Amino acid sequence: MQQGPRIITKIEANPLLSIKRNEYKQLRVAAYCRVSTDSEDQIDSYKAQVAYYTEAIAKNPRWKLADIYADEGITGTLVKKRDNFNRMIRDCERGRIDYILCKSVARFARNTVDSLKMVRKLKAKGIGVYFEEQCLDTLKVENEMFLGLHSVMAQSESENISANVRWGIQHRMKSGTFKFRYNLLGYEKGEDGEPQIVEEEAVYIRKIFNMYLQGSSLTQIKNYLEEERVLTRKGETKWSENVVKSILTNERYCGDMLMQKTFVDNPISKKTHKNRGELPKYFIQNNHAPIVERSVFQAVQAEMARRINKRRVSDRSRTEFGKYSGKYALSELLVCGECGSAYRRKTWKKRNGESEGVWLCLNRIENGREACEKSVALHEESLHEAISRGLLKAYSDFSGAMDCITTALAFAVTQSEEVLDVYAIEQQMKQIDKELDEVIVLRERTQGDKSKYDKEIRKMSQQLIALRQQRDLEKKKMESSKATKYEIERIKKLFEEKENFIQYRDDVVRCVVECVRVGENGKLTIILKGGYTVEEEITD
């Protein structure tokens, strides 16, 4: 059969059906405003935006004001931090908004991924966003590419701003003009603009440092602060061990300031990292009035390091490190003279139903009598009395005991020679580092054999490693010497009063006693710090 010519006929659309169903419907229109800082000019801009959109929506007869959503002093790079933006999205999902007005793409979001994700999410629900500055309506298909371009530009602008701000902060740190942050207990901004001590809070800061040096654990200090109803910096009565630890390790309490301890590697995620050497740090000594003496602060750091590196005493411990307990001083000091194991406190029930504390060899507790046959059980009351008598003997020989303690504790102190050593090492490191840079440049420029340069680079690198280790060792000695001086003064102060040794006290024992060795038949050898030794019999 012969095929006829192809004929194309246009069938006109039904004008009744071509009208959008919501064309004559009053649209529920919302507006979103945001400013990124709390400065006065930004707040004025924020108020102006709110007033402008309120009036603009009210003037249009086809629009009905759904709500004005505004975030003040909030970053645009993270959606999760913008409460009103998230509230607007939730209202869209609940069908309360038909259209959104926004000044620009940058006001909506400075994160390209977030911007496109949210716009597409709203578009899928038939909700459009109109950006006035760019004249973009997201419901129009052709505007998708332009929206992506403007989103990328907004993110790039945010990254440039962040880089400039970071440079400014680092420059102020380097020049020592970086402002003191009042985000810690004990300080407030004075009338002269400098940090000023708040004595009502500083009392508890000193108490925290003293309690730690007297043997209290972080948990015990936390419990004390909660019992005293002391408020945290945020005005809460609930404390945590981490907050207590942050106070004990904050150098600002001794008048110094270490800057750039943390950093943000990218302005979009804003994830904070601890600075472990990726960026330079800036340390300012004697920056402001201290709440605690530097020697006290350094003594706390030394004690914290000692507790962290405490070796295990139990064979049942899962790690090589032991756990510090601030409950009893003798848990760390009382050792068995037979097997060398630590003693542990147990509670025994008497025949009359009363309880008493008894100290037993841990090796014998865990492994049986065969592991340590000659160790004896020590009744706590008798043990405390014997230690008090031994300390009174040391007190009666004050000069002999203090000479021994002072000589031994001060043995590591080399005064200013250590300072000179550290300075000389650092100067040598700078010189080698300079020479190393020159060798690297020569290696890159040469067209011949590079092996001799590689050998020289390896040699210099090894020298730098060795010098760095030596410098760190000398610095530790310096810190140890200052802590030692403070320790000597603390012990001397205790020996000034006989009353400190009449009754057993955990804080006194922790301060002056190195260890207590339990010998045959319960004979005690009390060794004070520095090696001064006292022997005492336990009498029941």
* For residue 413, pLDDT beyond 50: no
Every domain of the chain and the residues it spans: 20-160, 187-304, 330-411+496-536
Most trustworthy range by pLDDT among 44-48, 272-276, 351-355: 351-355
> Strand, helix or coil at 489?
helix
Most trustworthy range by pLDDT among 16-30, 242-256, 298-312: 242-256
Alpha carbon distances (Å) from 390 to 261, 406, 536: 47, 19, 6
Contact 507, 361 (CB under 8 A): no
* Stretch among 64-78, 90-104, 439-453, 498-512 having the lowest mean pLDDT: 64-78
* Stretch among 114-118, 300-304, 338-342 having the lowest mean pLDDT: 114-118
Q: How confident is the model at residue 416 (pLDDT cuts 50, 70, 90)?
A: very low
**Domain 20-160: homologous superfamily in CATH:** Resolvase, N-terminal catalytic domain (3.40.50.1390)
More confident residue, 444 or 163: 444
Amino acid at 31: A
Mean pLDDT for 416-431 is 64
Work out the number of other CB atoms within 10 angstroms of the CB of residue 105: 27
* For residue 314, pLDDT beyond 60: no
E strands, 372-531, in order: 378-379, 513-518, 524-528
Cα angle, residue 19 at apex, residues 18 and 22 outer, rounded to 5° = 135
pLDDT computed for residue 21 by the predictor? 46
pLDDT computed for residue 292 by the predictor? 92
Most trustworthy range by pLDDT among 71-80, 151-160, 176-185, 476-485: 176-185
* For residue 225, pLDDT beyond 70: yes
Mean pLDDT for 141-158 is 60
Q: How far apart are CA 385 and CA 540, in angstroms?
A: 10
* Residue that has been written with the tokens 């009210």 in this structure: 58
Alpha carbon distances (Å) from 464 to 13, 278, 418, 427, 504: 83, 18, 19, 11, 51
- Residue 71 exposure: Cα atoms within 13 Å on the Cβ side: 24
pLDDT computed for residue 244 by the predictor? 93
Mean pLDDT for 289-313 is 79
Name the H helices within 179-282.
Answer: 199-213, 218-227, 241-248
DSSP letter string over 321-388? B-----S-THHHHEEETTT-PBEEEEEEE-TTS-EEEEEEEHHHHHH-GGG-SS---EEHHHHHHHHH
The predicted-structure confidence for 482-492, as pLDDT tens digits, reads as follows 666 777 778 88
Mean pLDDT for 221-237 is 90
pLDDT computed for residue 238 by the predictor? 92
* For residue 163, pLDDT beyond 70: no
90: its two tokens: 């939730």
pLDDT computed for residue 209 by the predictor? 93
Contact 27, 64 (CB under 8 A): yes
CA 468 vs. chain centroid, Å, equals 26
* For residue 92, pLDDT beyond 70: yes
pLDDT computed for residue 166 by the predictor? 65
pLDDT computed for residue 412 by the predictor? 40
Nearest to 158 by CA among 206, 213, 111: 111
Work out the number of other CB atoms within 10 angstroms of the CB of residue 433: 13
CA 459 vs. chain centroid, Å, equals 37
Work out the number of other CB atoms within 10 angstroms of the CB of residue 446: 11
* For residue 236, pLDDT beyond 60: yes
81: its two tokens: 């931090």
Mean pLDDT for 321-339 is 77
Mean pLDDT for 510-522 is 86
pLDDT computed for residue 466 by the predictor? 82
pLDDT computed for residue 169 by the predictor? 59
Contact 275, 263 (CB under 8 A): yes
pLDDT computed for residue 177 by the predictor? 64
Mean pLDDT for 64-77 is 73
Mean pLDDT for 507-530 is 86
> Strand, helix or coil at 483?
helix
The predicted-structure confidence for 21-51, as pLDDT tens digits, reads as follows 455 578 899 988 876 655 455 556 667 777 8
8-state DSSP, 6: P
Q: What is the mean pLDDT of the chain?
A: 77
* For residue 414, pLDDT beyond 60: no
Give bridge partners of residue 347 from the DSSP assignment: 357
The predicted-structure confidence for 169-181, as pLDDT tens digits, reads as follows 566 666 666 677 7
Q: Residue 321: which region, alpha, beta or left (left: phi > 0; alpha: psi -120 to 50)?
A: beta
* For residue 77, pLDDT beyond 70: no
Burial of 213-238, coded b for 16+ CB within 10 Å and e otherwise, reads: bbbbbbebbbebbeeeebeeeeeeee
User: 187-304: which CATH number, 3.90.1750.20, 3.30.70.1450, 3.20.20.20, 3.40.1080.20?
Assistant: 3.90.1750.20
Contact 241, 231 (CB under 8 A): no
Mean pLDDT for 267-286 is 69
pLDDT computed for residue 180 by the predictor? 72
* For residue 182, pLDDT beyond 70: yes
Amino acid at 379: H
Contact 354, 493 (CB under 8 A): no
pLDDT computed for residue 206 by the predictor? 93
